[in-house]
Structure 1
Amino acid sequence: MHRERISFSELSDASRENWPEAAAGNSLLAPAIYRLHEHLSRLAEALFKEYDLQSAEFETLCALRNSPPPHCLTPTDIYRMLLISSGGMTKILTRLEKRGLVGRPANPKDARSRMVGLSVHGKMVVEGITERLLKAERRLLECCPQPDVLEQQLTEWLTRIEQD
């Protein structure tokens, strides 16, 4: 993998040597998570590019796929799940609909609005991307000591943060 920056170990060594106050305790944990996020994002973005999808579009397809069959949600439900503005959500849905990845059936609970439903093609695309993404992520996780323990710890940490 092409490195655009120095490795994290080089960065942390430099911090410990040249700025020990900034490297004390667990102060390198957040920068390590940011760097890991960059690696994961780069991997995902390369895959999304192959499908001409933006990250928010993929997340929208995932939100629909994670909903119970027939994989329909209201636009409001989706933008609340993804923390996207309603205007941004409209742009995403328009693009996905033009590509045949979602449909816009009537809302049986409110005739004034339309649902967003994952099309058969959209379901195939999101499942195909996810399968490839998970495979690539598993390769990265091969470098991780005790991935199950790390997953549990991160999940517990996020749960505590999000309960506040």
Structure 2
Amino acid sequence: MPRERISFTELFDSSKQHWPESTEGVSSIAPAIYRLHEHLSTLADGLFKQYSLQGAEFETLCALRNSPEPYRITPTELYRKLLVSSGGMTKILVRLEDKGLIERPANPEDARSRLVALTAKGKALIEEVTEHLLQQEAVLIEKAVQSDQLEQLLMQWLENLEDAHKA
């Protein structure tokens, strides 16, 4: 049974009252985003569990599905798209291969390596899971005020942060 949590507003108000120096002159944007992330992660994790997937497996299948047909890339390309160690990547690929969601064909450009490719089963699964995830996320997003404007502002903020990292 999920634990009942104090609302973000109650938490922030409590901080203002009992630890004012932690909130004075501080925006609530970052803590609110952390709390929103918890809600979105809980939603996604519940859905992934229904499909016997872990979050990293879902991300790996998405990265493959986002690749050009025939949805096949080198492990190095896959590794660059995900935030996992090379050892972690190997474990994920083994699990996905055991489930029949990916295959490891020979690399025609480099006989020393193998590619990572979605199987038809993997493609069908990632498309189904993503469709359900997007539907569930849409329900949460409907609760947002001015979601179009919020999306535009968040994307601009993210782009600014990522551009600053490139510099």
- Superposed pair shares fold, TM > 0.5: yes
Q: Give 1:136's aligned residue.
A: 136
Q: Give 2:107's aligned residue.
A: 107
Q: CA deviation at 1:155?
A: 1.2
Q: CA deviation at 1:18?
A: 2.4
SS of 2:110 mapped into structure 1: coil
Taking only the aligned residue pairs, the percentage that are identical comes to 62
Q: What do residues 85-143 of structure 1 show as CA deviations (whole Å, max 9, x unaligned)?
A: 11110110011011110011111221110110011100110010001000000000111
Q: Provide the rounded CA distance (Å) in 2 between the counterparts of 1:25 and 1:67.
A: 44
Q: Give 2:117's aligned residue.
A: 117
**Letter of the 2:47 counterpart:** L
Structure 1 residues not aligned, in runs of 5+: none
Q: Kindly report which structure 2 residues correspond to 1:142-157, keeping only aligned pairs within 5 A, or say none.
A: 142-157=142-157
Q: CA deviation at 1:13?
A: 1.4
Q: Provide the rounded CA distance (Å) in 2 between the counterparts of 1:110 and 1:51.
A: 34
> Which range moves more in the overlay, 35-44 or 77-86?
77-86
Q: Provide the rounded CA distance (Å) in 2 between the counterparts of 1:60 and 1:124.
A: 14
Q: Give 1:65's aligned residue.
A: 65
The count of corresponding residues between Structure 1 and Structure 2 is 164
Q: CA deviation at 1:17?
A: 2.3
**Letter of the 2:104 counterpart:** R
Q: What do residues 56-106 of structure 1 show as CA deviations (whole Å, max 9, x unaligned)?
A: 000000000011111111111111111211111011001101111001111
Q: CA deviation at 1:2?
A: 5.2
Question: What value does the CA root-mean-square deviation take over the aligned residues?
Answer: 1.5
TM-score normalized by the length of structure 1: 0.94
Which 4+ runs in 1 deviate beyond 3 A?
none
Q: CA deviation at 1:156?
A: 1.2
Q: Give 2:82's aligned residue.
A: 82
